[in-house]
């Protein structure tokens, strides 16, 4: 489990595609504190550490993950939002994020709004009904509050701090992002289906 509060922006240093895809990510995390088998949120996708050395770790990415996320587009130099898992007693600054990406949203438009950026995204139709104004979601692993929803489109504000410490400030219209809907919304919708 994660909170959607990014603690490092890493960079893809290598991608190797034999069987499952091996991705190596450069990070400022202290490698001495990373164990083989640890989970790390990588732009919203929970990946398992399979190798590490000073300043980097590697994860194996399945074909399923590649088909449901933006990870299949990663190449050397791609920036990656990173978050270590939540520990009992940690502050929950964002919202509960599982690291299980539900689909890919695309940035439709962006414009300044005060010191922030207003990003408008389009979600896959199958996920749109899970997104509500003032609800939470995660985009590329970043916990955000939804400002407005119109059909499958929704807007979020990217404050200056978020622009500086995540990859969201560098997005351009057309760019894809990993979308994880709010866990509570998913379970409420499932319960309503059974009635």
Average pLDDT rounded to a whole number, residues 129-143: 95
**What is the rounded distance in angstroms from the CA atom of residue 70 to the CA atom of residue 142?**
15
Neighbours of 179 (CB within 10 A): 25
Note the pLDDT of residue 194: 64
Cα–chain center distance at 6: 9
Q: How confident is the model at residue 188 (pLDDT cuts 50, 70, 90)?
A: confident
- Band (80; pLDDT cuts 50, 70, 90): very high
Domains 8-83 and 103-193 share a fold: yes
What's the whole-number mean pLDDT along residues 11-37? 94
Domain 8-83 has CATH 3.90.180.10: no
Return d(Cα 79, Cα 167) in angstroms, integer: 7
Instruction: Provide the terminal-to-terminal Cα distance of the chain, rounded to the nearest Å.
Output: 29
pTM, entire model: 0.93
Residue 185 pLDDT level (bands cut at 50, 70, 90): confident
Given a cut of 90, whether residue 43 has pLDDT beyond it is yes
* Domain covering 103-193, topology: Elongation Factor Tu (Ef-tu); domain 3 (2.40.30)
* Backbone dihedral angles phi then psi of residue 31, each to the nearest 5 degrees: -60, -20
Domain locations in the chain as residue ranges: 8-83, 103-193
């Amino acid at each position: 489990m994660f909170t959607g509060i990014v603690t490092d922006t890493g960079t893809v240093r290598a991608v190797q595609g034999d069987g499952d895809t091996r991705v190596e990510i450069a990070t400022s995390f202290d490698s001495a504190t990373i164990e083989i088998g640890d989970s790390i949120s990588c732009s919203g996708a929970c990946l398992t550490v399979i190798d590490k050395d000073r300043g980097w770790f590697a994860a194996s990415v399945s074909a399923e993950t590649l088909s449901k996320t933006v990870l299949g587009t990663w190449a050397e130099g791609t920036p990656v939002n990173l978050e270590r898992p939540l520990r009992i007693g940690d502050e929950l600054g964002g919202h509960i994020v599982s690291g299980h990406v539900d689909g890919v949203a695309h940035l439709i438009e962006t414009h300044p709004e005060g010191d922030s950026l207003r990003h408008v995204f389009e979600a896959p139709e199958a996920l749109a009904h899970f997104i509500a104004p003032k609800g939470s979601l995660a985009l590329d692993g970043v916990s955000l509050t939804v400002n407005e929803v119109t059909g499958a489109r929704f807007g979020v504000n990217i404050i200056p701090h978020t622009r500086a410490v995540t990859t969201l400030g560098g997005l351009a219209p057309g760019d894809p992002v990993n979308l994880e809907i709010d866990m509570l919304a998913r379970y409420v919708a499932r319960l309503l289906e059974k009635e």
